[in-house]
Amino acid sequence: MRNLLMLLSGIALGTGAPVLAKGQPRANPRAAGPVKSGFARVNGLRMYYEIHGAGGRPLVLIHGGGSTIGTNFGRVLPQLSRSRRVIAVEVQAHGHTLDIDRPFTFEQDADDVAALLDSLHVPKADILGFSNGGTTALQIAIRHPAKVNRLVIASSNYRRDGMQAGFWDFMEKGTYADMPKPYEVAYLKINPSQAGVHAMHDRDAKRMLAFKDIPDESIRAIQAPALVVVGDKDVVRPEHALALSRTLPHARLCILPGTHGSYLGEIMTPNVSDRTVAIFADLVTDFLDGRE
């Protein structure tokens, strides 16, 4: 249980035009096509994003707490981008996106992602959120429904009772020392700032402790087709994923064998096979293409 809880402990723990990073699009040997990276000025934030692939309807990836694009999606992103344009983001205080002096909430993250889509001239997209990113994805669907085509909510909660027993006690007692080392290393490789990585941890921990249930009526108002995914030994209870899939008006449920994020090859689950990650990518692609 402690290892599962640590996965979330660190966690767990005015719109402007996009500004491309310097240089030409860079090659990524694991991606299906060219990768562009850049920053967009959104709501006072200089928000980092990457674009992988070129065809099909856009798919937005939103990482979890304490994470980056690479730590959560490094293994699955190349497979998802084979048939569509994938826009992967890093939210406030995470990875390349530096913290700023303003509230840090799931609602604010949702507004930032919506503003980023505006800056990229993307009127509507599919949204896949993992862990805390799934909670943000729900808020995008609630606050900006016209921007959402289909939703994939992966290992995410919308109520406090959705977490395994002991999670909230662990969060109350958790410290920076409990942050998973791979997350710390990944952050410092991008941004070698101890103040920055501590701010990320503290922001995530404070947000989790302050989390309030999303009302059922708000979930019922989401009209986008949704796929709710969870591991059978996840830190989010499978029963909670079932409840979410029943509350969303147009949702399917997928329970996969594994722990928090293992099915998508998250960095804390390095022993997961490429075949498992490919199965998840195929399930998501079929759902997004309407073949579920």
Q: State the pLDDT at residue 215.
A: 98
Instruction: List Cα–Cα distances, 95 to 76, 178, 214, in angstroms.
Output: 18, 19, 27
Q: State the pLDDT at residue 292.
A: 67
Edge-first strand listing for the sheet containing 86-90? 18-20, 35-42, 45-52, 86-90, 59-62, 125-130, 148-154, 226-231, 251-256
Q: What is the pLDDT of residues 218-258, one digit of tens each?
A: 999 999 999 999 999 999 999 999 999 999 999 999 999 99
Q: Contact at 8 Å (CB) between 248 and 173? A: no
Token pair belonging to 192? 């070698």
The residue type found at 75 is R
| Low-confidence winner among 25-34, 73-82, 85-94, 277-286 (lowest mean pLDDT) | 25-34
Dump strand ranges (E) for 97-178: 125-130, 148-154
What is the secondary structure of 28-51 as a DSSP string? -TTSSS-EEEEEEEETTEEEEEEE
| Low-confidence winner among 23-27, 76-80, 85-89, 231-235 (lowest mean pLDDT) | 23-27
Instruction: State the SS3 of 177-229.
Output: HHCCHHHHHHHHHHCCCHHHHHHHHHHHHHHHHCCCCCCHHHHHCCCCCEEEE
What pTM, to 2 d.p., does this model score?
Answer: 0.90
CATH of domain 2-288: 3.40.50.1820
Asked if residue 64 has pLDDT above 90, the reply is yes
